[in-house]
Structure 1
Amino acid sequence: MTLVDRPGPGPSDITETGRHRLDDLQTAVATPAARPVSYGWHPRAALWTALTVAAVALVVAVLDWSGVAVPGVIRIPAVLLAVFLLPGVPIVVALRIPGRALATALIVSASLSVNILVTQISMVLEQWHSAQTQTILLVVGLVASIAAFRTVPADVRTGPLGLARAHWTPTRLAMLAALAVSLALFIVAARGLDILQAGPYGVISLVGPWYFLGLLLLVATIVLTLRAGHIDHIVMTAAAALAVVYNTMLVAVATGEASVPTAFVHRGFVSVLAASHRLPDLEDARYSWAGFFSLATHIQESAGFTDLTDVLFWAPVVFGPLMCFGLYAIAWAIGGNARIAWMAVLLYQAFNWYQQDYFAPQAVAGLGYVAILGTMLWQLRRSPLPAPAGLDRVLPGRLGEVLSLARRTPGRVPGFGSGRTPAVGATLLLIITANTVSHQMTPMLTVLALAAFAVTGTTRYRTLWLAAGLVFAAWFSYGATDFWMGHLNSLFNEVGQIGYSVNRGVGQRLNGDPTYKSMQYLRIAASGAFVVVAFIGWLTCRGRRAWLVSGLLCAAPFVLVTLQSYGGEMIIRVFLLASPTLAPFVAIALVKLSRKLRRLPTVLVTVVAIILTLGMGVLETTNRGLNAAFEASTPAEDALTQGLINKIPPNSSVMVFSHAPHSVGARRALDPDSPIVGYIDSFPCLDNLAQCTENRQPDYVLITHQGIEMMDLQLGKPAEEMESDIAALEKLEDYTMFIETDSVRILHFVDAPAVDLSAELARSEGKDN
């Protein structure tokens, strides 16, 4: 599939004559006056793909039941494709959702939602059986795909794919060749990075000329393609995917490990669920929204993974491109053309330094959120929209018209009758429910977004926001008790405390190393500029039917700041969640600016556009990689930390210098004699690490490069002082260092035995930068 979105079916596409009407969920009745139903994509090809995936995955599941080993090269793709495609494909085909981008966004979100809900129910009820669950899901997907063939009309309009021989022009081939060279240069540049040398400037201080040359090729391809008279969607699809790689994979390719340390925490949660097949009690608040982790556990067992380390690495280049489909659908509905849609997709990447597209619930919830917005905005664009009326009789003028908006109900999308329209709403509610059991914050924003559609009279689903709110309230009350039990007052005390949320999200982050603190202002400036330009673009769109509701959608995430601080993450998250609707208006503003430059020489405008786009790419590389010094993980940090936690004697105590995300796992959560892991929890302890360690007398001391850099850059304790403290600790003769690599040092107390970590050392040998 390519990211080519096309208008949905209109009155000219589907007609009703006499007694003949297209049934919403059954085979169309052919009449002489009927015209082809416009999909903009190939429904039969999609169903055949779904059938093939379901059949292969079902065979794999049956063999798994039988104890027959299936090669990973077959088993892993079959399981993953089934999770992302089933039963979404038959659902979306039956609904006849038009447009490749919107259809793909809904296929993926609906499939993930069904899988999340089924696996979460199994986990909550403690009736876990991954092979049985997988078989049921695949049988349902197989039957649904077969049945969905009956819903496809005999005559459909699919739209061109752009794959015909005539489309493979020298220009396309040259552009694709440039992207291939750019990818090769990226890999060479990334593999040449010594990530342990990253400091307060982050990864930008490490990249060399090969990286900038590759980035230049990428941005030149994008600018030239967008400025062409006809946009080549094949080239833009490849360019968007490569932009995701540049934005998310630089540190990961350099180290061979996931670039966000929290991903390893999530891996640990999955290992806990895989070992116990139940939700642990009072272990971590995130287990109260464990839908994502239940699905990940199902994937780990069904695909035959020992753990999900490899999945962590590749997750950004799966979630990132999938996000592009929903972004394109939103931008198409707001902007109305492919050029603006593609620009919005790329602008989202160019300012997405928030790093939430890793192996995390937020990434999956984000896919669902953009699918919901894309569907609602598409319906608004295609539906008949009556003028607001009612209160204008009592309050004449603009005020009465505005107050009448909530009384307005749009007509149905042409071709979507009394059956298919509520079926689309039910699909959205399915996605909302899955998001509710997977993520704490996105469901709250979804309620606000749906309420914005309701109060502006731009949706037929006037009570969907209420249904979403009830689902969230029900889960919060009964499914998330471990989260709020015992500290409900503190949760409500944060409501309305905007200053507190801002201070935790911004003020408390502007600490530590002075250079690193100054670099943080680049991030703030980039996000601020993005909002300002989007606001300007929004103002220029006044008069469009989506103008008011899209403005409310941009503003809705910022309301969340008044509700809670989200552990200091709220400010980052609101900018992240606002970006899908801000990006189209930034694109609109830039397009309108470019129209004022038409009198300038084309070559000059193109060169300036390339330079400015390259500057945005460099800025994003800087912002995204600013935390590389304390977020990048080496293979040794991962392997040795896991080995230490798993092999030390029962009830041993471990003192970690800073944090240890790789230590989270089944033993710490489930073993009654699990190791006791302690951290540097006070500034007096930080001021004199040697004395603090001597006072606590832990059995083992774990020191990682990641932790040293975090204390240096975020807490303001220079690395030189910490090295001096470590040397003083060794001189006390109470501790002996038995592991020392470039990124990991482990000491044991004189009365505690040294642990044999030779296997873990061998596993990371030659990979530790």
Structure 2
Amino acid sequence: MTDLSDLPPLWPGRRGLAAARPAVPLLAALALWGYAVRHTDVSRLDDFGLVTALHPAFWAGLVVLTAGFGFTVRGPRRAGGWPAAYVLGLLVMERATQAVLYPTPLYAWAWKHDGVVDHLLTAGGLQTADQVGDMAVYDQWPGFFAAQAALVRLLGVESTAMYMAWWPLVSSLMLLLPLLLIYRTFTEDPRLIWTAVWLFYVANWVGQDYFSPQSVAFALHLGVLAVVLRRYGRSHGGRARQGQAVWTVVLSVLVVAMVVSHQLTPGMLAVSLLALCLLRRSRDWVPAVTTVVIFLAWCLTAALPFLSAAMPDMIRSVGDVGGNVATGYGTTPTGTGAVATSWAARLLSGTVMLLAVAGVWRQRVLRHRAMPLLLVAAAPLPMIVASSYGSEMIFRVLMFMLPGAAFFAAAALLPPVRTLAAEAGTDARAAAPAGTGGRGGVAFWGPLVALLALTLAFVPSYSGKDRINYFPPGEVALVQRLFDEAPAGSLVVAANRNYPLAHQSYGTVGHYWFLDDDRRHVDEILRSPAATLARDMAGVERPGRAYLLLTQGQRADSEMNGQLTGDQLDRIQESVAASPRFREVAENGAGVVYELRTEGGAAR
């Protein structure tokens, strides 16, 4: 069985003032963070999102935290559990800030998943495409949503919206143990382990830690890799064989939970495990075969209806690298803030990848010992050739590469490292003791400055689009009122999907987002907004009604992603407001709802 005794201890074992010295910058950083969140106003976000809204004390706290971590992890004495405490502090500052600052949960996709859980609770079972249309895909991968529905019942809360704002912190914490187990497989040097963990968290800006199946599936993915690399990657002696059946059962449970929850992650895992086997870095095919068999079994049974419909498009996308990485119309960052934050994210990922290459070249010891981790980092790359995954494949590939890339990037920032004690004789000539490196000169200050720059770059990369992702309480209340009052069979029309509860009541209420149409139809709406929208919304039979919803979140998404400008959206709203075909039924500072007037029992 895997035990945790070989991991760095979480808490210091020494006593006295010297042992407590690392606590000073940690506590100072958290104090600055606490002061910052109490004095930050998010009511009026600009195109830089949270970056310009944050109180300067937040940035000071992040600098102090990073410097304290750098001095602690590179100190000449054993740091004990202080690096772990600093990483937990980093997660609080990174992932809890938004939950504390914003009165409502972020991300339209998180609200969409809240709607899926709510539908599962009210419908009482899984449904088909004939019943819920495109949303049936969630009923064919229901693992995450069924678990959340059970959790809602267990906690006695109204919906997942009661806790999903904290999900980024929770899901990030779920990754910590698998990361430690994976990194500890290849090194016993605590400097490398904790620096790699730090880099992983500051470079994981992609935003898949929100309330989603991907967040849990990624944790399961790392858990399987930890089991495989630690239990199946070693020599097959008598002791190594003991308990292997137990670990196969554990691995199977993790894979099943992943397969029933998410479409992409099992494919990524299978690619990684097959790469290890085909390149002879793992001689045991059991994990790879187990993963492939379970994944195929699910795809050929429960998920077959979705795959049958989607297969032609999936086949066409194979080999279309340009199309797979293209974002397409309506997702081009527009404006200084959107462009700046987009480049910050690209530079952050690019720098980590370049550091990873430097680490592979610089640390000779790791090139051989950690080759399996290097393969795991490179294995997701071919997926760019296989599919676009809704124009998100490049982001997912970056995320799945990151655990391995962060390890080698950390190696580039450190003096020579050692791998495992069992190989100390082999490594002795190539690696310095863990306490060397000192605290003076370029060898220390250069990596510390690089670590600080990467840590600061996380904030615009992760929170720079909060003007899009944040929905004020007024917007939530307006949309909730609409769905509370909309009769079954109604149609809700909006510019795009970027508003809270966008998929609420999708079992009984239809949804149409006109910016999803081709450019010619969007231009037609711009030429004659009220007449075109009235025609698009016609045909809704009583008792259903047709509504047009325009909100602050839709405007932010449209403006920052190059869809329609604010003036164009204003013209659409003014045209509808002046048209006798529509009447206003609800309005507040965050949006407005119009209803298409009916004549003779049908919407016109």
TM range (shorter): 0.7 to 0.9
C-alpha contact 1:659 1:679 (8 A) present in aligned 2 = no
Q: Is the 8 A contact 2:120 2:149 kept in 1?
A: yes
> What is the 5 A alignment of 1:120-131?
none
SS in 1 for 2:549: strand
Query: CA contact under 8 A between 1:334 and 1:546: conserved in structure 2?
Result: yes
Give the aligned CA root-mean-square deviation in angstroms. Answer: 3.1
Range moving further from structure 2, 483-492 or 660-669:
660-669
User: Structure 1 residues 332 and 212 mapped into 2: Cα distance closer, same or farther (>3 Å)?
Assistant: same
Using the size of structure 1 for normalisation, the TM-score is 0.68
Write out per-residue CA displacement over residues 265-316 of structure 1, whole angstroms, 9 at most, x where no aligned residue: 1111111111123112113223322111111111111222211112211111
Task: Report the residue type matching 2:113 in the other structure.
Answer: H
The equivalent position to 2:376 in structure 1, one of 553, 575, 581, is 553
Secondary structure of the 1:655 match is strand
1:317 aligns with 2:317: no
1:421–1:654 distance in 2 versus 1, CA, 3 Å: closer
Report percent identity of matched pairs: 20
1:411 aligns with 2:263: no
Query: How far apart are 1:718 and its partner, in Å?
Result: 2.3
Counterpart AA for 1:352: N
2:343 paired residue among 509, 517, 521: 521
Q: 1:101–1:329: 8 Å Cα contact kept in structure 2?
A: no
Cα distance, 1:255 vs. partner?
A: 1.5
* Alignment partner of 1:239 is 2:86: yes
Question: Shift of residue 499 of structure 1?
Answer: 2.1
Residue in structure 1 matched with residue 211 of structure 2 by the alignment:
359
- In 1, the alpha carbon distance for the partners of 2:40 and 2:520 equals 36
Moved more, 566-575 or 494-503: 494-503
**Which of 477, 492, 501 in structure 2 is aligned with 1:654?**
492
Q: Are the aligned partners of 1:172 and 1:235 in contact in 2 as well (CA < 8 Å)?
A: no
Q: Deviations over 1:697-719 (max 9, x none)?
A: 35432222111011101124222
Q: Which residue of 2 aligns with 1:602?
A: 440
Letter in 2 for 1:524: R
1:547-586 pair list within 5 angstroms:
547-586=370-409
1:97 is matched with 2
Aligned to 1:306: 158
What does 1:206-605 correspond to in 2, within 5 Å? 206-282=53-129, 283=132, 284=135, 285-379=137-231, 383=234, 410-412=235-237, 415-418=239-242, 420-504=243-327, 509-513=331-335, 516-517=338-339, 519-542=341-364, 545-592=368-415, 602=440
Report Cα offsets for 1:594-633 as digits up to 9, x if no partner. 9999898628766655544332222110111122111122
Closer/same/farther in 2, CA of residues 733 and 618 from structure 1, 3 Å limit:
farther
| Secondary structure in 2 matching 1:249 | helix
What secondary structure is seen at the aligned counterpart in 2 of 1:619? helix
Q: In structure 2, what is the Cα distance between the partners aligned to 1:546 and 1:333?
A: 10
Is contact 2:348–2:454 with CA below 8 Å preserved after alignment? no
Q: Does 1:707 align with 2:530?
A: no
SS in 1 for 2:382: helix
**1:631–1:706 Cα contact (<8 Å) kept:** yes
Q: CA deviation at 1:229?
A: 2.5
- Structure 2 CA distance for partners of 1:689 and 1:658, relative to 1, 3 Å: farther
The match for 2:470 is 632
Q: State the partner residue of 1:81.
A: none
State the secondary structure of the residue aligned to 1:487: helix
Gap change, CA 1:161 and 1:583, over 3 Å in 2: closer
Equivalent-residue separation in structure 1 for 2:31 and 2:61 (angstroms): 8
**2: CA distance, partners of 1:191 / 1:743:** 24
TM-fit CA distance, 1:347: 0.1
1:42 — aligned with what? none
1:21 is aligned to none
SS of match in other structure, 1:580: helix
Question: Aligned equivalents of 2:521 and 2:477: distance in 1?
Answer: 27
For 2:110 and 2:450, the matched residues in 1 are separated by 33
Deviation digits for residues 625-660 of structure 1 (CA, Å, limit 9, x no counterpart): 122111122222223212211212343332213225
Give the match's secondary structure for 1:602: coil
Give distance in 2, aligned partners of 1:534 and 1:316. Answer: 26
Supply the AA of the counterpart residue of 1:264: W
Please give the alpha-carbon distance, in whole angstroms, between the structure 2 residues aligned to 1:187 and 1:686: 46
CA distance in structure 2 between the aligned counterparts of 1:724 and 1:192, rounded to whole angstroms: 37
Aligned mates of 2:263, 2:88 — CA distance in 1: 29
Give, in whole Å, the separation in 1 of the partners of 2:402 and 2:38: 31
Q: Counterpart amino acid of 1:365?
A: A
User: CA separation in 2, counterparts of 1:666 and 1:732?
Assistant: 28
- The one of the two structures with greater contact order (alpha-carbon pairs below 8 A, sep at least 6) is 2
Alignment partners' CA distance in 1, 2:52 and 2:590: 20
1:680 aligns with 2:551: no
Superposition deviation, residue 750 in structure 1: 5.3
- Aligned counterparts of 1:183 and 1:601: Cα–Cα separation in 2: 24
- Aligned position for 2:533: 696
Give the letter for the 1:366 counterpart.
F
**Secondary structure of the structure 2 residue equivalent to 1:566:** coil
Q: Relative to structure 2, which stretch is displaced further, 593-602 or 633-642?
A: 593-602
Q: How far apart are the structure 2 equivalents of 1:733 and 1:186?
A: 53
1:325 Cα deviation from its structure 2 partner = 1.4
- Tell me, what secondary structure is at the counterpart of 2:505? helix
**CA separation of 1:459 and 1:600: change in aligned 2, threshold 3 A:** closer
Describe how 1:77-96 pairs up with structure 2 within 5 A. 96=1
Unaligned runs of 5+ in 1: 1-95, 103-158, 384-409, 753-769
Per the alignment, do residues 740 and 231 of structure 1 end up closer, same or farther by CA in structure 2, a change over 3 Å counting?
Answer: farther
Change in Cα spacing, 1:461 to 1:380, as seen in structure 2 (3 Å) is closer
| Cα distance between partner residues in 1 of 2:563 and 2:574 | 19
1:599/1:533 CA distance change after superposition, 3 Å: closer
Other structure's SS at 2:528 match: helix
Deviates more, 1:683-692 or 1:356-365: 683-692
- Contact 1:561/1:570 (<8 A) preserved: yes
**SS of aligned partner of 1:667:** coil
Secondary structure of the residue aligned to 1:230 is: coil
Please tell me whether Structure 1 or Structure 2 has the larger radius of gyration of its CA atoms: 1
Distance apart, 1:216 and its partner CA: 1.9
1:450-490 per-residue CA deviation (whole Å, 9 max, x = no partner) reads 11222243435323312211211111111102312333222
Aligned pairs, how many?
A: 566
Distance 1:515 1:186, change over 3 A: closer
TM-score (norm 2): 0.85
| Residue pair 2:140, 2:306 contacting (<8 A) in 1 also | yes
Cα–Cα, structure 1 residues 646 and 101, in superposed 2: closer, same or farther, change >3 Å?
A: farther
Q: Given the superposition, is the C-alpha separation of residues 601 and 716 from structure 1 closer, same or farther in structure 2, using an over 3 Å criterion?
A: same
